[in-house]
């Protein structure tokens, strides 16, 4: 499986420091409040969840205990099957979304769906990129599902489980396409090498020690 590894230019990328999440009132990476979604057409489909961020207290498993990493799974399209497009919107529209997703891609698409389905496509791709970046960082679990289910990171995960998804919704189809695009590195994300994000209507204390990489609609992304 091919994963996107963001390697920005040396002049633009500053090494991030390990962050302890604080403040139940923060939003984004991972905390977001329901009313922040800007695309009302999608919000009518179901109520958006409320996200909170707390200090990370879940130990990262030893290397021998890690589940299969995304790179070991058959989620990638063959070279001659990779669609091409001149815009992200066009790429989403031609990216295959039929068929069952692997557990890893389902976790990635689910996070996109619950965290950012009301955001523009660039914002959804950025959320997916943060999860991919985390899975490639030694600071976090080494799989998409490990990142998404890490305790106190995504509040839409309840008792270790993701809520039900409206499988027939257009929001879910887009989330699946975005997950495939991000997973296979088909489109450059503005999030770059970001590992954290929050909504722009809050100012969590941890953000002062991070470097902002991108501002996309209601989210700010950090390394």
pLDDT at 99: 86
The answer to whether 39 touches 62, Cβ cutoff 8 Å, is: no
Owning domain of residue 90? 34-59+66-222
CA dist., res. 95 & res. 82, Å (int): 8
State yes or no: cis peptide before 58, omega within 30 of 0: no
pLDDT at 28: 56
Domain contains 8: no
Domain contains 11: no
- Full DSSP string of the chain: ---------TTT--PPPP-----TT--SSS---GGG---HHHHTSSPPP--------SPPPPGGG----GGGSS-PPPGGG----SSHHHHHHHS---SPPPHHHHHHHHHHHHHHTTS-HHHHHHHHHHHHHHHTSTTS-SSHHHHHTSTTT-TT-BTTBPPP--TTSHHHHHHHHHHHHHHHT-S--TTTT--EEEETT---GGGGGS-EEEEETTEEEE-
Domain contains 17: no
Domain contains 79: yes
Contacts of 36 (CB under 8 A, 6+ apart): 27, 118, 199, 201, 218
Domain contains 5: no
Backbone angles phi, psi at 150, to 5 degrees: -60, 135
CA dist., res. 11 & res. 211, Å (int): 13
pLDDT at 72: 39
Domain contains 214: yes
Domain contains 27: no
The CATH number of residue 190's host domain is 1.10.10.2520
Domain contains 186: yes
pLDDT at 80: 57
Task: Per residue of the chain (223 residues), give pLDDT as tens.
Answer: 444 444 433 333 334 433 333 333 334 554 443 333 344 334 444 434 333 343 333 333 443 343 444 443 456 666 556 777 999 999 999 999 998 899 999 999 999 999 999 999 999 999 999 999 999 999 999 999 999 999 888 878 888 889 999 999 999 999 999 999 999 999 999 999 999 998 898 888 989 999 999 999 999 999 9
pLDDT at 155: 78
Number of structural domains found in the chain: 1
Sign of torsion, CA 25 27 30 34? positive
CA dist., res. 92 & res. 171, Å (int): 12
């Amino acid at each position: 499986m091919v994963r996107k590894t963001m390697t920005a230019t040396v002049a633009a990328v500053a090494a991030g420091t390990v962050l302890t999440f604080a403040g139940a009132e923060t939003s984004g990476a991972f905390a977001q409040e329901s009313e922040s979604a800007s695309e009302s057409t999608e919000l009518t489909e179901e109520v958006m969840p409320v996200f909170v961020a707390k200090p990370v207290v879940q130990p990262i498993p030893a290397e021998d205990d890690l589940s299969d990493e995304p790179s070991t799974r058959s989620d990638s399209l063959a070279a001659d099957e990779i669609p091409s497009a001149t815009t992200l919107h066009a790429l989403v529209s031609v990216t295959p979304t039929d068929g069952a997703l692997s557990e890893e891609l389902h976790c990635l698409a689910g996070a996109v769906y619950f965290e950012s389905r009301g955001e523009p496509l660039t914002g959804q791709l950025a959320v997916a990129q943060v999860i991919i970046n985390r899975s490639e960082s030694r600071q976090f679990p080494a799989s998409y599902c490990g990142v998404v289910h890490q305790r106190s990171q995504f509040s839409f995960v309840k008792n270790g489980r993701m809520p039900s998804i409206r499988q027939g919704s257009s929001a879910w189809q887009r989330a699946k396409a975005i997950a495939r695009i991000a997973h296979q590195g088909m489109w450059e994300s503005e999030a770059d090498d970001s590992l954290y994000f929050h909504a722009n209507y809050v100012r969590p204390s941890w953000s002062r020690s991070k470097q902002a990489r991108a501002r996309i609609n209601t989210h700010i992304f950090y390394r």
